[in-house]
Amino acid sequence: MQSFLDEVIHPFNARMRTPLVPTVRGIYADGDTVTTLFDAAATAADGLPYRNTYTWYFVMRDAKVTTAIAFFDTREFDEFWQRVKPKSP
């Protein structure tokens, strides 16, 4: 989990001017699996909008996430990742 934070989440947030704001379309549960479908939007550090649609799958045990899988529009993400350089801490 720490590597995901260090390699994706922190560099992602360093490319943003505003926080990513989710709009949840639905949350679905089946057994120990919870699926969340949402759209998210923010303003990137270069002033342009970032928008994407995500689906997250969580496997739960004792009210804690044990496994997480995320799907999103990779074209939108890759374009943003290449276009915007992270701000220095």
In terms of CATH architecture, what is 2-83? Roll (3.10)
Read off φ and ψ for residue 29, nearest 5 degrees.
-125, 140
For the cut 80, the answer to whether the pLDDT of residue 1 exceeds it is: no
pTM of the model: 0.83
Read off φ and ψ for residue 4, nearest 5 degrees.
-65, -45
Q: What pLDDT digit, counting tens, does each position of 10-44 carry?
A: 999 999 999 999 999 999 999 999 999 999 999 99
Domain boundary assignment for the chain: 2-83
Number of Cβ within 10 Å of residue 50's Cβ equals 24
β-strand partners of 50:
42
What strands, in cross-sheet order, belong to the sheet with 64-72? 21-30, 33-43, 49-61, 64-72
